Amino acid sequence: MNQVTDDYMAVRELLTLGNEYCYFAENQSKYEESYRLTFLQRALAALYLKGSLLPEILECDTAYMQRFVTEENYEILFNEMRERFGKNDLFHTADSISGDLIEHSLSELLCDIYQDMKDLFITFSKGLEAEKQCVAYYAATWFQERWGKSIAMALPIIHELMSAENPDMDLE
C-alpha cells in the first residue's frame, strides 16, 4: 500500500463517522433524549480520535474545497438543536487570560462540526484526486483550528447532561 492510499484511508474512516454524525444531526427529532446524548458522546469522541490521527497534508489547491451547507441549512439545524437542548444549550467557560466568562451554545458547536463534516464528505464523494487531497488537507487543518476544539468543548457538557439525566445510574 502506498502513502497516498494510507492517507485517504484515515480520511475515509473520519468521513464515515462524520457522515453518521451528519445523518444523526439531520434526523435528531426521531430520537429520545437519552439516545441523543449517548450518540453524541460516542460519536464526538470517535470523531476526535479519528481527527487526531489524520495525516499532515502540506498542500492543497483551495479551489477544490467548496462549502455546501448553506446558511439556511445551518440555521434550520441550529434552531432545531437549540430547541431540543432548551435551557441546557448555553454554558460558560472562563477566559484563560482574563478570567472573564464566555457564553457558548452547545447547538452552535454541534452545528459547526456538522457543517465541516458535511462539506468534507460531499467534496470527498466527488472522487477527483485533487478534491480528495484537499479534503485530507482541510480535515486536518479544520480539526486543529475548529471542529477539534468544538468537540473538546462539547463533550464535558454532554457528559454533564448525561449525568443529570441519570443521577442514579450505576457505572460499575
Q: Going along 28-73, which residue ranges are E strands?
A: none
Residue 2 has pLDDT above 50, yes or no: no
54 and 143 in contact (C-beta within 8 Å)?
A: yes
In whole angstroms, give the CA distance from residue 44 to residue 170.
Answer: 23
106 and 91 in contact (C-beta within 8 Å)?
A: yes
127-142: burial string, b at 16+ Cβ within 10 Å, e else:
eeeebbbbbbbbbbeb
Residue type, 167: P
Dihedral sign from CA coordinates of 39, 106, 144, 139? positive
Nearest residue to 50 via CA among 121, 128, 156: 121
C-alpha cell at 49: 480520535
The CA-CA-CA angle for residues 81, 82, 87, to 5°, reads 130
- Its pTM stands at 0.90
Domains of the chain, first to last: 3-165 (1.20.120.1550)
Nearest residue to 123 via CA among 75, 69, 73: 69
pLDDT digits (tens, 9 = 90+) for 123-156: 999 878 888 889 999 999 999 999 999 999 999 9
pLDDT digits (tens, 9 = 90+) for 28-81: 999 999 999 999 999 999 999 999 999 888 888 888 888 999 999 999 999 999
